[in-house]
Amino acid sequence: MSEQKSPKSKPRWWTAYWLIIVFATVIIGVTLPITRNVPVETAAFYLIVILLFEGLAYYVRVKPSMKLNRVMYILLGAPIGFVLWFISWFFVVRVMYPQAGENLTAVIVSLIMCFGIAFLIGDLIGKARHYKGPEQYQP
């Protein structure tokens, strides 16, 4: 798989856009404990998690690569896996075998199977799109 290169020039607002997102997140994270009676530890934890996701989003947009796009497509399968698992367990527990929900081994095995199938579906979607990521800015 060859690596995709991002375009060298970005629009002028590009850096300001990401800085505004980070500063707005920090301001909300700092003022949340004061204005909404949220514990400081909780606000700090969520602030760190959100900043990590913002960093990941920035990396995906600014440094696209074929490997990273493939990982993103495979992870795209996670919601599909959860839906598959939920539907299958609803059918199994409600219709076929009501005591199955008490068997932890069956729950874990079904989770692994559904998410494995879903990750495969995500990879197949990526292959169909040639692992192309979001459109990049072209000046």
Hey, where are the domains in the chain? Answer: 1-63, 66-139
- The set of residues, in sequence order, having a beta carbon less than 8 Å from that of 111 and lying 6+ positions away, is 81, 85
Whether the model pTM is above 0.85: no
Rounded to an integer, the average pLDDT of 76-100 is: 82
The 10s digit of each residue's pLDDT in 47-71 is: 999 999 999 888 877 777 888 888 8
Read off the amino acid at residue 44. A
The 10s digit of each residue's pLDDT in 93-139 is: 777 777 766 777 877 888 899 999 999 999 999 999 888 876 665 55
Say what the pLDDT of residue 120 is: 93
Assigned token pair, 109: 């095995």
Maximum C-alpha span of the chain: 60
